Copies of this chain bind each other. A is one copy, B any other.
Amino acid sequence: MSKKVHNFSAGPAILPAEVIKEAAQGALDFNNIGMSILEISHRSKDFIDVMEEARSLVKELMGFGSEYQVLFLGGGASMQFAMVPANLLVTGGTAAYVNTGVWASKAIKEAKGIGNINVIASSEDKKFSYVPKGYTIPTDANYLHITSNNTIYGTQQHQFDKSPIPVVCDMSSDIFSRRMDFSKFDLIYAGAQKNMGAAGATMVVVKESILGKTGRKMFSMLDYQVHIKGESMYNTPPVFSIYVSLLTLKWLKKNGGLAWIEKINDEKAKLMYDEIDRNSLFTGTCAKEDRSKMNACFLLKKPELEETFNKMWKDAGVSGIKGHRDVGGYRASMYNALTIDSVKALVDTMKEFEKKYADSKVTA
């Protein structure tokens, strides 16, 4: 093992150390059966147990009963941008979307390919630096689509109103990061590779009663009802990615579930944003009330010091805080598995950087 890395990657992202260890062991010899989990049948009892426990833990952590179904599908959240309208948008009907950034825009673009889309609110006017509020949800739309956390801009929706129509939420970048009243949602989807596991699997939780109403013919692989009938194994699922998700869900439950992780995430976010606000060399990029507890975006006030700062955080073992090209600057992604020690390492580097260079005219 090389030296300790503080992994702030925006996704695929850091996983708990014990999950990594157990996943690697499963890749070598799974359940002590003498075979890797990579080379056993997905119809074997060993893997069916993995799938069933993962599906069941999702429901348990969210407090869902039998009216919701959990699927682990391949293809990524981008595939959900297509599957959601294919399964929910009635021919001739309309769906309502809130545009909070690049990913929401992609979801809108895909949905427009097959029906009428009403973008009822957008924060594009201010480069997606806030979350729209106070809009009216049209009661005649088939569903409302929102994005709970916007990785690129570092914004997060903190309040969710009761909706008169089914609510679909892309939770890819803040799934299982906080307690929520999940009953406000009818369909939740999330790529596994941020808070839940490894790239290659996408979790979908759907209230079964909202399905089967469009009359639309579609490919089997796009049809939630086909996957539900197949118990999330209509075809060979992304076995290893699902196993990593299971290990992460077990880690979460064992340590105290969403209440436990929410407290830690609150502490990490407070530490990070307090420093961004205090430090004379940095400034946050988005509306304070909409700041994401997962992704903190900030800019350097003296761009001429960029290389100096970059060298400092790299020397401190910090990795992956370069901002997305749409925002620039820095983005510290603090997903569930990132420890507060890693945030401290970054904050300490920012403090040291300020001490050395705040009054300096020299770029080192």
The chain A residues found within 8 Å of chain B, CB to CB, are 1-5, 7, 9-15, 20-21, 23-25, 27-29, 32-36, 38-42, 44, 73-79, 81-82, 86, 106, 109-110, 113, 191, 193, 197-201, 217-222, 234-241, 244, 319-320, 337
Contacts and interface: CB of A to CB of B under 8 A. Distances in A.
Contact of A9 (B14, B23, B41, B73): B41
A198 B199 CA distance: 13
Contacts of A222: 82
B27 A199 contact: no
Contacts of A21: 28
Nearest to A217: B113
A166 B262 CA distance: 55
A233 to B, nearest CB: 11
Q: How many copies does the complex hold?
A: 2
A294 to B, nearest CB: 15
A38 B15 contact: yes
Contact of A200 (B3, B34, B239): B239
B41 A10 contact: yes
Given A75-B79, A82-B220, A236 B199 contact: yes
Contacts of A24: 24-25, 27-28, 36
Given A236-B12, A236-B193, A221 B41 contact: no
Contact of A39 (B20, B106, B220): B20
A29 B2 CA distance: 9
Given A221-B82, A238-B199, A239-B200, A39 B15 contact: yes
Contact of A113 (B39, B76, B219): B219
* 9 nearest CB pairs, A to B: A200-B238, A82-B219, A78-B235, A74-B74, A2-B34, A24-B27, A24-B28, A5-B34, A38-B198
Nearest to A16: B39
Contacts of A35: 5, 7, 14, 319
Q: Which of A86, A191, A241 has the most chain B CB atoms closer than 10 A to its own CB? A: A241
A243 to B, nearest CB: 10
Given A27-B27, A220-B82, A34 B235 contact: no
Which secondary structure dominates where chain A touches chain B? Answer: loop
B38 A239 contact: no
Q: Which of A197, A198, A201 has the most chain B CB atoms closer than 10 A to its own CB? A: A198
A244 B38 contact: yes
B76 A235 contact: yes
A39 B14 contact: yes
Contacts of A234: 78
Contact of A74 (B1, B10, B238): B238
9 contacts: A1-B34, A10-B41, A38-B197, A39-B198, A110-B220, A199-B240, A200-B240, A238-B241, A240-B240
A34 B3 contact: yes
Contacts of A337: 39
Given A23-B27, A74-B76, 8 more contacts: A11-B236, A14-B35, A20-B27, A21-B28, A41-B320, A82-B219, A110-B219, A199-B238
B240 A191 contact: no
Nearest to A226: B78
A159 B44 CA distance: 34
Contact of A241 (B36, B221, B240): B240
Nearest to A222: B82
